[in-house]
Amino acid sequence: MIAELVVEIGPLWHEGQQARLESRPRKRAVGAGAKHQLVFIDRLLATLVHLRHGATHDALACWFGVDRSTITRAIGEVRPLLATRGCTIATGVRLRTLAEVIDHLGTSGQTGIIDGTEIRVRRPAAGRKDREKFISGKNKQNAVKAMILTDAGGKLLFCSPAQPASCADITHARQSGLVKHLTGGPAVEILADAGYQGLGAQTGGRVVTPPHRKFKKNPPEWYEEVYERQRKAHSSRRIRVEHGIAHLKNWRALARHLGRREQMSDTIQAVAGLLSHQQTSPAGPISHSTLRRPTPLAGHISVARTDSA
């Protein structure tokens, strides 16, 4: 998998470095001056270890023998490239937008499942006007929220950009364009929990939510039995999205984010892309042995050292 990532995003990183060097006024030719201390393969490895195991920048700097700022800059360059890859559904086939996901589900005749997940983040500093936006009404913690969409088997198909946790699930879905894409797109069944009740009427029944409880107090015994049977049947169909979210949270960067909140969209979308690739690839997930620093490959792409820092 690492070799595939090197081939895929290595040229993109190199082009970005060249564009940055050529865009500013220069007194020396491009390539003169200080050289990168890390080749691209090492930058990629540092980013993967940070996302998968939550290793701090200080620890990674000791591992690679460079300054902490070098690791911070490397992760900041590679993480957005990973975030733009999209979710893999087959070898060489990726879905990058919600519209593409809806078209894929409609073409293949599959059922989609959506749910929101929250990731704890640092509390904004005192005095900031948006300090209360990140407080989750559900967990009473500072967090951001992302909308996850999987197929009926729990395979990741889409992960939305992060929003402050005070945003309701149904509002987040509307802002992501789910209603627009379902209304004007193919006939697709999307399973959702009670947080999305109301979207069914707006999408012509394409979003299916649990049955609404009609009796709030003292319901008839027959009604309670029917309601529980329908609710459990719906829950058993949409439980796979919870499994997909659990696999996401296995990546330590999403267990609790201690960095900048502005980086969360790139972080969660990068992890979603990597995880979906694992779910498709027969090689299996990234393991500790996979993330060893491979010296031969580093020499193979040492051409990256020719750029100035």
Q: What is the pLDDT of residue 180?
A: 92
Q: What is the pLDDT of residue 304?
A: 38
**150 or 130: which leads in pLDDT:** 150
Tens digit of pLDDT for each residue in 186-202?
A: 889 999 999 999 899 99
pLDDT band of residue 308 (cuts 50, 70, 90) is very low
Tens digit of pLDDT for each residue in 70-124?
A: 999 999 999 999 999 999 988 888 999 999 999 999 999 999 999 999 999 888 8
Q: What is the pLDDT of residue 31?
A: 64
**136 or 270: which leads in pLDDT:** 270
Tens digit of pLDDT for each residue in 42-73?
A: 999 999 999 999 999 999 999 999 999 999 99
Q: What is the pLDDT of residue 124?
A: 84
The answer, yes or no, to whether residue 39 has pLDDT greater than 50, is yes
C-alpha angle 246-248-253 in degrees, rounded to nearest 5: 120
pTM, full prediction: 0.82
Q: What is the pLDDT of residue 68?
A: 93
